[in-house]
């Protein structure tokens, strides 16, 4: 989780990622931020995030991102 938080803070350090539950739905991460996040996650965790995974449910919180990453690492 620390690496995910580090990546998120590199995109925008003004957001409290440990508490925020609406990163996408609340408009806190814009499309450029999401694209940057996906690229960073893919590189950091050696995963591929397909278009089908690009849903608000997978990106609304650091916890949701962690769960997606862990699921993708299992495949």
Please give the structure tokens belonging to residue 60. 């609304």
CATH number of 46's domain: 1.10.1200.10
Which whole number is the average pLDDT over 19-36? 95
Unique residue bearing structure tokens 């938080």? 5
Which whole number is the average pLDDT over 14-21? 96
Whether residue 1 has pLDDT greater than 90: no
Please give the structure tokens belonging to residue 39. 């690229």
Whether residue 75 has pLDDT greater than 90: no
Q: What's the number of domains the chain is made of? A: 1
Domain span holding position 58: 2-74
**C-alpha to C-alpha distance for 20 and 64, rounded to whole angstroms:** 11
**C-alpha to C-alpha distance for 28 and 23, rounded to whole angstroms:** 5
**C-alpha to C-alpha distance for 48 and 64, rounded to whole angstroms:** 16
């Amino acid at each position: 989780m620390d690496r995910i938080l580090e990546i998120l803070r590199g995109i925008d350090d003004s957001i409290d990622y440990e508490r925020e539950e609406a990163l996408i739905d609340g408009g806190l991460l814009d499309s450029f931020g999401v694209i940057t996040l996906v690229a960073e996650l893919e590189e950091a965790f050696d995963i591929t995030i397909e278009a089908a995974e690009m849903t608000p449910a997978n990106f609304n919180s650091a916890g949701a991102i962690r769960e997606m990453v862990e699921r993708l690492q299992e495949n």
